[in-house]
Amino acid sequence: MPKKTLLKRFLIWRYKNISEKNFTFILSALVGLLAGLAAVTLKNITFTIEALLAKGIVFSQNQLYFILPVIGLLLVYLFVKYISKKPIEHAIPSVLFSLTRKSGFLKRSKIYFPLIAAPLTVGFGGSVGLLGPAVSSGSAISSNLGRLFHINRKTRTLLIGCAAAGAISSIFKSPIAAIIFAVEVFALDLTFASLLPLLIASVSSVITSYFFLGDDLLFNFNFSDKFQINDILFYAVLGIGTGFASVYFTKMYFAILKFFERFKTAFQKLIIGGLAIGIMLYFIPPLYGEGFGFINNLLAGNHILALGKTPFDAFNQNIWVVIALLIGITIFKAVAMTTTFAAGGVGGIFIPTMVMGSALGNAVAKVINNIGLGFNVSETNFTLIGMAGLIAGVLHAPLTAIFLIAEITGGYELFIPLMIAVGISFSIKKSTIDYTIYTRELAEKGQLLTHNKDQNVLTLMTLDSIIESDFALLNPKMTLGEMLHEGVAKSTRNLFPVVSENGNLSGIILLDDVRDIMFDQSLYECTLVESLMHNPPDKIDYGKDSMQAVMQKFQDSGAWNLPVIKDEKYIGFVSKSKLLTAYRRQLINVSS
């Protein structure tokens, strides 16, 4: 029996026997399972590559490790050019774009593309993370499941959030933080209708991770240092530091990407970026790869092992040299990560953010403990809270940061300092830069979904759906008589656009403008349309004005109809009544 017939029979059976709510629960469990499998596959492929390289298959003593990222980037370049033949898209921003402009539909190729390109990038030492590709792959899986089972747009969005939660839950084994991440980053409404599917997906994914990876955790950490009330001021200082570091991280990211735009070909970017990464790795080895080993060594209190073999080994007994190296990691992790992206690598920013935060937190603690004023703070706690501060600032995800660290530590002993540092860091970043690496491009285009329901409704609306074009067109050189016979007599409208020979909108005429003279036949031949027309209250620029801008123009002008132009060419009109009707319909869809 053909597959389409089987699917059709299943869908008919499902509509008859399974409610939409229960089917969403079933799909959320399936999405969590598949997203967990994608994350586990991604991790295993990457760790296998890393293990093979560490055993010396490429370099016997592993002394030339700083060359490996170039090889990885070259392999990604060849894969993209000759196999994928599709441009690289950053993982989570592309998913967010699909939610606003593609109704949550993602191509099937996005399922497997990250599973190949990301391990080649990270496995060979590219300074990026795996979480973004895991979210991208899981989201593509959920999107195509939604397409297969004819799921509506709102449920597709929820299932993509479930995939994101599943990816984080699988990688970090932190199901609560995973749910909160989906809510904060994908702007999901935290209601019972969305919370239960997210919970099911998160649990399903973490169980999948335990099944395939056992009890192995990314962070081998045993919490021992309790929170001391006397350290509150120092945690506040760390929050300020992570806040400004978050601003630096974001600005550096976009500055480096802009710098690489001057290179015309992908191969030029690969060569320049690869050489830059190699130089950075030679002087600062912890920039190699994701950096989980670096974090674990800092949490274990072994900064010598964390820093690895550097040209400064002769001075690593000097604590201030160690502090300088940790600050160097804080500064250059953002540079190495963004250069990896710019050179053609595939990965995520979440884990590099944690590496940068851990280095900064540990460095701040070491400074406090060694300035000679008799203070003694927990370097481990500062390392953890530094990670949370950077996550909150860089990603604008403060609750994710708090609960992720709480789950990593296995308790809530650090809740107070986490809230202090995270709150300060988030406030500084949000007040300085109102977007994140994930959201800047969408925010500038007015295409970003947020927790503002009014803004979301306008973002999801499209101008094409409300443009009306059944208006009688007038020419500026028409006489009044021609206008009445060819325009007014043949139109049911009381509004007439005046369009020149080249298609430009010259003005408009309302029926009220000619009502007093339309029966005066002495004016039919001597009065031209151009003498009667006037400018519209405002114009809608197609392709440039967002729906928020369209709504604002109606509000400011008080008009009932506004013309739509593109490059000064007339397209049609938008009426306030049709705009508000479409708004209400979309509001019902969003709120249901």
Binned at pLDDT 50, 70 and 90, residue 443 comes out as: low
Which of 321-335, 373-387, 393-407, 546-560 has the weakest average pLDDT?
Answer: 546-560
Q: What radius of gyration do the chain's Cα atoms show?
A: 29
Binned at pLDDT 50, 70 and 90, residue 510 comes out as: confident
Q: Is the pLDDT of residue 243 over 90?
A: yes
Average pLDDT for 183-190: 72
User: CATH second-level architecture of 455-591?
Assistant: Roll (3.10)
Q: What is the pLDDT of residue 249?
A: 93
Question: How far apart are the C-alpha atoms of 212 and 170, rounded to whole Å?
Answer: 10
Average pLDDT for 245-257: 93
Residue 508 pairs with which residues in a beta bridge? 497, 534
Q: Domain extents for the chain?
A: 3-213, 229-448, 455-591
Same fold, 229-448 and 455-591: no
Closest CA to 481 of 533, 515, 530, 526: 526
Q: What is the pLDDT of residue 472?
A: 86
**573 and 563 in contact (C-beta within 8 Å)?**
yes
Q: What is the pLDDT of residue 375?
A: 86
Q: Regarding the domain delimited by 229-448, which CATH topology (the fold level of the hierarchy) does it fall under? A: Clc chloride channel (1.10.3080)
Q: Which CATH class is domain 3-213?
A: mainly alpha
Q: What is the pLDDT of residue 475?
A: 87
Binned at pLDDT 50, 70 and 90, residue 288 comes out as: confident
Closest CA to 139 of 188, 193, 177: 188
Q: Is the pLDDT of residue 448 over 70?
A: no
Element (H, E) at 27: helix 20-54
Residue 574 has φ and ψ, to the nearest 5°, of: -115, 130
Amino acid at 298: L
Question: How far apart are the C-alpha atoms of 461 and 447, rounded to whole Å?
Answer: 10
Top mean pLDDT of 220-234, 388-402, 449-463 is at 388-402
Model confidence, pTM:
0.78
Question: How far apart are the C-alpha atoms of 579 and 566, rounded to whole Å?
Answer: 19
Closest CA to 106 of 32, 160, 25: 160
Closest CA to 97 of 448, 465, 450: 448
The C-alpha angle 125, 127, 131, rounded to 5 degrees, equals 105
Scan for tokens 């449920």, then name that residue: 155
Q: 311-319: which pairs have CB atoms within 8 A and are 24 or more residues apart?
A: 311/282, 311/283, 319/366, 319/370
Q: Is the pLDDT of residue 221 over 70?
A: no
Q: Is the pLDDT of residue 312 over 90?
A: no
Average pLDDT for 79-83: 86
* Positive/negative CA dihedral, 538, 542, 546, 547: positive
Amino acid at 486: E
Average pLDDT for 225-248: 90
Q: Is the pLDDT of residue 410 over 80?
A: no
Q: What is the pLDDT of residue 218?
A: 65
Average pLDDT for 574-590: 78
Q: What is the pLDDT of residue 521?
A: 81
What's the mean pLDDT when you consider all of the chain?
Answer: 84
Binned at pLDDT 50, 70 and 90, residue 216 comes out as: low
Binned at pLDDT 50, 70 and 90, residue 59 comes out as: very low
Q: What is the pLDDT of residue 310?
A: 74
Which of 57-71, 183-197, 487-501, 521-535 has the weakest average pLDDT?
Answer: 57-71
**165 and 159 in contact (C-beta within 8 Å)?**
no
Q: Is 509 helix (H, G, I), strand (E, B) or coil?
A: strand
Question: How far apart are the C-alpha atoms of 30 and 149, rounded to whole Å?
Answer: 13
**72 and 290 in contact (C-beta within 8 Å)?**
no
Average pLDDT for 140-160: 85
Q: What is the pLDDT of residue 60?
A: 42
**463 and 564 in contact (C-beta within 8 Å)?**
yes
Average pLDDT for 552-575: 88
Question: How far apart are the C-alpha atoms of 424 and 45, rounded to whole Å?
Answer: 38
Q: Which pLDDT tens digit goes with each residue over 273-283?
A: 988 988 888 88
Question: How far apart are the C-alpha atoms of 403 and 202, rounded to whole Å?
Answer: 14
